[in-house]
């Protein structure tokens, strides 16, 4: 059927066209059916949205599809029903508990990247895998297919190291130390990182307070060839792009069945040969117990081994923020300080432990000591400044040069005692409410750590923001939620909870 183009002024990851219900009926189209839209030799396959009062001689096309078709408002295109993409059969196979072969994984990822699958279909795929899981072969097939349908970093180096954290701890700026330590010792570490999704800062946000991180792949390659390392944002590199599309569907559902393939696809795409995997372990993280950390680590090590990536997992303490600073600018300042002053101690210990583990994986004896030496002698700081310069930042930057929000709020201890908890979710909520990660200078600076002795009136933490309205919102939070708990007798409160139980009906009836 020939129809006139109405351009709908926005873009979507997957092609959708809008047809009036009368036109859809004539073409025997139901919502989410596929049509081929063509103009001369150019064509797209799109999913149909059916509207109630759309012009009957027209088809609505988004800006990005109109560019591919090279059509303007009012021009004629042909629209005809067509078969759904082959990968829909792969999704249907998964719905009847089938296993995804390599060819099917390739078809799936090609169609995802090509924008051929609708959100309904992607959500069904993600949910199906959430319930059924993936066999190790399927995980391998999907991971390789994600990588094959995107770009790859090609460095002509036999050994490529990497560090990845499963996250969940506020203030975890460890990568800003591990990358320069490793690179300063002459080893290659092309670190791609993400921005915060639900936390006050991701590694890309932290690094961006110091240097540009939004580098294209060619620029990233140049930085690594010059300095052996980099810390860039992974989102614009087109490495395993199918993964980014899948994550958009997983996020609102709160599930992530592609978890292990997602992460390892990004590592495979940069050519990693050895990866240290940080598994923060504690309340509020992915692995709440050491048992869970071991189970998760096992999945990574097994799939990594099939992919030719050697992985060493490390469970790390995660019951309070790493260091004192939470929020992009505050964390960037703390990382710069740590490279120079070897403080705060927990941050330095974590960075040196992870870097040392990586070094031992490639045969260096006493990795921990070697890593610590790189830090102590200033080699790591010097390397970090080279990386900053190569990425386009100021190599002479000092911690105080990084601007903070000028509105502050300090919370004080109301009683003498010991800090027995710092609640990670509450600290994260305060940091986000203050404006992080969008407002780089917003965040929380702790003045205490678990176990510290405090007196009534001592400052516990200071919140930074650019906005008095946001500081007021933080005030409301600190009135209701206790971010730092003070125990009277010791740095550990022995009674965790009084467990009360009100039976819903008399016990004898049960």
Please identify every residue annotated as catalytic. Answer: 256
CB-CB contact of 17 with 49 (8 Å)? yes
Pick out residues in 467-486 that bind a copy of itself (CB under 8 A): none
For residues 353 and 312, is the Cβ–Cβ distance under 8 A?
Answer: no
375 part of the interface to a copy of itself, by CB under 8 A? no
Tell me, rounded to whole angstroms, the distance of Cα 493 from its chain centroid. Answer: 34
Quick one: angle between helices 136-148 and 241-253, nearest 10? 120
CA distances from 382 to 119, 140, 212, 368 (A): 47, 39, 18, 19
Report, in Å, the least distance between residue 251 CB and a copy of itself.
6
* Contact flag: residue 18 with a copy of itself (CB under 8 A): yes
Nearest to 251 by CA among 122, 424, 140, 107: 122
Q: By C-beta, is 53 or 479 nearer to a copy of itself?
A: 53
Minimum distance from residue 377 beta carbon to a copy of itself (Å): 41
Question: Beta strand pairing status for 42-51 and 16-20?
Answer: parallel
Q: Does 72 participate in binding a copy of itself (rule CB under 8 A)?
A: no
CB of 507: closest distance to a copy of itself in angstroms?
23
* Of 127-135, 174-182, 207-215, 280-288: span binding a copy of itself (CB under 8 A): 127-135
The residue among 146, 143, 112 whose CA lies nearest residue 14 is 112
Two tokens at 378?
């200033």
Q: Distance between CA atoms of 318 and 321, rounded to whole angstroms?
A: 7
In the range 77-96, which residues lie near a copy of itself by CB under 8 A? 84, 88, 91-92, 95
Q: Which one among 2, 41, 52, 502 touches a copy of itself, defined by CB under 8 A? A: 52
Tokens of 239: 């490495």
Instruction: Rule CB under 8 A: choose which of 30, 498, 505, 510 binds a copy of itself.
Output: 30
- When asked if residue 376 is in the footprint of a copy of itself (CB under 8 A), the reply is no
Query: Interface residues for a copy of itself in 270-299 (CB under 8 A)?
Result: none
Q: Does 214 bind a copy of itself (CB under 8 A)?
A: no
Of 244-252, 279-287, 385-393, 495-503: span binding a copy of itself (CB under 8 A) = 244-252
Burial of 358-384, coded b for 16+ CB within 10 Å and e otherwise, reads bbbbeeeeebbebbbbbbeeebbbebb
Dig out the tokens for 224 from the structure: 């690594």
Which one among 252, 363, 396, 503 touches a copy of itself, defined by CB under 8 A? 252
Cα of 300 vs its chain's centroid, Å: 17
CB 4 within 8 A of CB 59: yes
Among 42, 56, 63, 490, binds a copy of itself (CB under 8 A): 63
When the beta carbons of 31 and 40 are compared against a copy of itself, the nearer one is 31
With CB under 8 A as the contact rule, the residue among 251, 341, 395, 401 that binds a copy of itself is 251
Q: Contact letters (x/-) for a copy of itself, 429-468, by CB under 8 A?
A: ---x-----x------------------------------
348: CB partners within 8 A, 6+ apart: 177, 338, 342, 375
Cα 258-429-284 angle, rounded to 5 deg: 45
Binding status of residue 405 toward a copy of itself by CB under 8 A? no
Q: Minimum CB separation from a copy of itself for residue 319, in Å?
A: 24
Picking from 398, 391, 460, the residue whose alpha carbon sits closest to that of residue 221 is 391
- Please select the residue that binds a copy of itself; options are 39, 127, 194, 221, rule is CB under 8 A: 127
Binding part of the chain for a copy of itself, among 23-31, 144-152, 365-373, 462-470 by CB under 8 A, reads 23-31
Is 49 among the residues that bind a copy of itself (CB under 8 A)? yes
28 touches a copy of itself by CB under 8 A: yes
Residues 239, 161 contacting (CB under 8 angstroms): no
Secondary structure of the chain: what % helix, strand, coil (to 5)?
40, 20, 35
Return the range that interacts with a copy of itself (CB under 8 A); candidates 117-125, 168-176, 299-307, 488-496: 117-125
Beta pairing class for 453-454 and 484-487: unpaired
Binding to a copy of itself in span 329-368, by CB under 8 A: none
Under the rule (CB under 8 A), what is the footprint of a copy of itself?
6, 8-12, 18, 25-26, 28, 30-33, 49, 51-55, 60, 63-64, 84, 88, 91-92, 95, 118-124, 126-128, 130-132, 197, 248-249, 251-255, 432, 438
């Amino acid at each position: 059927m020939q129809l006139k183009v109405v351009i709908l002024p926005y873009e979507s990851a997957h092609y959708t066209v809008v047809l009036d219900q009368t036109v859809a009926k004539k073409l025997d189209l139901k919502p989410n059916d596929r049509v081929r839209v063509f103009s001369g030799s150019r064509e797209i396959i799109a999913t149909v949205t059916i509207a109630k009062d759309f012009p009957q001689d027209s088809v609505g096309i988004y800006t990005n599809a109109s560019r591919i078709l090279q059509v303007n408002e009012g021009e004629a295109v042909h629209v005809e029903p067509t078969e759904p993409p082959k990968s829909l059969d792969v999704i249907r196979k998964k719905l009847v508990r089938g296993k995804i072969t390599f060819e099917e994984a390739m078809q799936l990822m090609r169609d995802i990247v090509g924008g051929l699958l609708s959100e309904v279909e992607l959500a069904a795929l993600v949910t199906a895998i959430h319930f059924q899981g993936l066999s190790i072969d399927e995980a391998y097939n999907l991971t390789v297919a994600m990588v094959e349908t995107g770009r790859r970093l090609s460095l002509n180096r036999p050994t490529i190291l990497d560090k990845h954290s499963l996250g969940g701890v506020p203030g975890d700026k460890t990568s800003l130390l591990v990358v320069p330590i490793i690179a300063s010792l002459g080893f290659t570490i092309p670190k791609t990182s993400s921005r915060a999704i639900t936390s006050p800062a991701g590694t890309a946000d932290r690094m961006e307070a110091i240097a540009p991180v939004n580098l294209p792949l060619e620029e990233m390659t140049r930085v690594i060839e010059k300095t052996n390392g980099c810390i860039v944002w992974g989102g614009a590199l087109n490495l395993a792009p199918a993964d980014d599309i899948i994550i958009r569907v997983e996020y609102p559902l709160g599930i992530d069945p592609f978890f292990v393939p997602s992460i390892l696809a990004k590592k495979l795409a940069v050519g990693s040969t050895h990866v240290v995997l940080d598994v923060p372990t504690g309340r509020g993280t992915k692995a709440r117990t050491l048992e869970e950390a071991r189970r998760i680590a096992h999945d990574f090590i097994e799939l990594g081994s099939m992919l030719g990536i050697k992985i060493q997992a490390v469970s790390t303490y995660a019951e309070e923020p790493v260091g004192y600073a939470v929020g992009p600018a505050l964390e960037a300042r703390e990382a710069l300080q740590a490279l120079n002053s070897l403080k705060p101690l927990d941050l330095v210990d974590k960075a040196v432990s992870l870097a040392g583990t990586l070094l031992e994986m490639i045969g260096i004896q006493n990795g921990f000591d070697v890593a610590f030496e790189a830090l102590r002698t200033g080699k790591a700081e010097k390397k970090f400044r080279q990386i900053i310069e190569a990425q386009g930042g100021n190599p002479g930057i000092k911690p105080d040069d990084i601007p903070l929000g000028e509105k502050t709020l300090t919370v004080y201890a109301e009683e003498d005692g010991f800090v027995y908890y710092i609640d990670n979710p509450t600290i994260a909520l305060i940091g986000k409410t203050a404006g992080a990660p969008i407002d780089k200078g917003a965040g929380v600076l702790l003045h205490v750590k678990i176990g510290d002795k405090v007196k009534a009136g001592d400052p516990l933490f200071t919140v930074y923001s650019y906005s008095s309205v946001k500081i007021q919102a933080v005030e409301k939070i600190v009135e209701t939620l206790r971010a730092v708990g003070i125990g009277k007798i010791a740095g550990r409160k022995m009674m965790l909870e009084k467990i009360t139980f009100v039976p819903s009906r008399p016990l004898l009836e049960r």
